[in-house]
Amino acid sequence: MPALLRTHRNTMLTKPRDITACRLRNRLLPALQLCPDLLEYLFLLGASLETDGYHRRRAVLAYSQVCHDWRTAALATKSLWVQLTDFDDMSWRWNEEMLCRSHPLPVKVGSCTFPPRETNSITSEMGYLGRIRTYRLGFADESWDVLEKKIQEPAENLEYLSLAYVPLHSSKTNRPWYILPRNLFDNRAPQLRRLKLEGCTLDFGAPTLRSLTSLTVLNLDAIHKLAPSAFDWITLISTLPFLTDLLLKEAISSVTSLSDPHAQLSTMPSSKTRLSRLTSLHLEANISAVAAFLKFTILPVPHNLSLTCSDAQPGAEIEGILEAFVDVLERAIRRQRETGNTYLPLLIYARSASLSICTDERVLGNERDLPYPSSSASSFNFYLDFHAHRSGCWEPLLTPVLSAFSDPVRCNSPPSVNNGVVSHITSLEMRLPSCHPALAAFLRKATQLEALVNLPATLTNNLLPELRFAPPHRSHSPSPSITSNTSSSYTLAPLPSMPDVPLPHLRTISFNDDKSAWGVPYGTLLSYLRWRSEDAEAPLSRVVFRRCLLLDEKVSELEGIGVTVECDGEGVRWQNF
């Protein structure tokens, strides 16, 4: 560099022949002898290794500035520049340049729908609607007119559209109602597969919707009867032949009762509609809306099923939902067993005014506490949530759930195993504020249960003693029905046949509360383990303590009974300081 600076001005490389000579000499360097195809691969590989947009932009710009040949190769790689379009953080001038360099490749516009986009930005972006593949957009009231006009133009490459209404001034009484036009994209969006709408809805007669495989609608005004009813949604879904994923959250009107004067009886289906293609269904609405949807549909066995019901209370609606839920669950269990997989986890989680049921292993305790490895997990994830108005209402909600899970399955099974879904559960976690009166009778039917996961100290005190004794029918006396103290309509019928020892396949109990490692809960556990080992001749093989401080003498005491003790020693107890 110093020698270059001392060179006389008229000897600098300013003439075209000198620049050409320098370029020819540079091409002799090993790094500059790579062929254009290899350079294109290296550029794309380097850009893909960058974890964020900022460093990706810097890397691509650096590649294109090394030399003339590299710049030519970079500019010819259109898929390199299409990655640099960023309508969220970069200026419109930048994006326009990237759109020109990547023409005619499809582009992705927007990564979020909040805050709402300015009207002029929507106009500019929609000018490239023919090239947009993924479009996420949040709009305000003043932008709707422009947006409504633009989405009536063709979108040949559009695959995913996400629109969210973002009110700048919230109003609980005079909320505007935005509906996508019937001639959406001029009926020319052949690649459209996924549609997500928040705060706005769609015209059910739009031909563009016929190609959808995924539909998500969120946060419609169900309270003021602006949202479609369950019957309207069923009618729409029956016209979408390729729909596999459906999510409706606060998007179903609660006007579903026949006695409601606002109900449109003409839209009520004459028979049940079979939703044969659905693999994922998520409904979150008032319990009457969810009950009406399930009453008039025949669900397949999806991989993901989630039902969330507000204003829940015991009655015909919750029984109808449980009947549909258990029916799908039973069919899923039978299908899974045909593949040789017998693993079925279950989580029962209650709070003051809500109750949740889940079969997803990912939310069930610690994977090290489960009897099966993750590779053997169930192939379906089912969620069922009930939310009541008043606090302290979880017990009346749990009673019909236990009853539904204990009813005999509708299949050609021997009477000894025809004990309902509970007889197929292999791992059970119960996060309950207290011990429900019918819980012990429910667990006696869990003949395949192998693990009690994260057993609370409250249930240890009240539940394990109940599971030490033989069922009442062994005394050759009539077996009374076990009912709760909430409603006489929910009963748990006695088992046709039950083993001599409750939970005969139970091998593992795990705890995640330090209270379980000392005092009365620990004494109850110790007594239960001794009874299983000495009297019942069905010993447990493993006890797990997570986040519990277990003393060495207690570990030795448990190992003396013949169980393997696992403890992470992470608990802290004030008595030990």
CA 262 to the chain's CA centroid: 34
> What type of residue sits at position 147?
L
Alpha-carbon gap, residue 558 to 504, rounded angstroms: 20
Among residues 212, 134, 147, 215, the alpha carbon closest in space to that of 181 is found at 147
Alpha-carbon gap, residue 104 to 77, rounded angstroms: 12
Please give the chain's pLDDT, 577 residues, in tens: 334 334 444 444 456 667 777 777 766 777 677 888 888 999 999 999 998 889 999 999 999 988 888 899 999 999 999 999 988 788 888 988 999 999 999 999 988 878 898 898 899 889 899 999 999 999 999 999 999 999 999 999 999 999 999 987 766 556 678 999 999 999 999 999 999 999 999 999 999 999 999 999 999 876 556 689 999 999 999 999 999 999 999 999 876 444 444 444 446 677 889 998 999 999 999 999 999 999 999 999 988 999 999 999 999 999 999 999 999 999 999 998 888 888 999 999 999 899 999 998 776 655 555 555 444 445 688 999 999 988 878 999 999 999 999 987 654 444 444 578 999 999 999 999 999 999 999 999 999 999 999 999 999 999 999 998 654 444 433 433 433 444 333 344 444 444 578 999 999 999 988 888 889 999 999 999 999 998 888 899 999 998 888 888 999 999 999 999 998 766 555 554 4
Interior/surface letters 260-296, b for 16+ CB within 10 angstroms, e for the rest = eeebeeeebeeeeeebebbbebbbbbbbbbbbbbbbb
Is 290 strand, coil or helix? helix
Query: Of all helices (H) and strands (E), which one includes residue 150?
Result: helix 144-150
What is the residue extent of each domain of the chain? 29-85, 299-445+492-502, 507-577
Among residues 89, 38, 87, 97, the alpha carbon closest in space to that of 63 is found at 38
Task: Determine how β-strand 345-350 pairs with β-strand 354-358.
Answer: antiparallel
Task: Determine how β-strand 132-139 pairs with β-strand 427-431.
Answer: unpaired
End-to-end CA distance of the chain: 70
For residue 562, give the DSSP letter. T
203: which 2 tokens?
Answer: 């015209």
Is 389 strand, coil or helix? coil
Give the CA dihedral 223, 298, 349, 464, nearest 10 degrees: 150
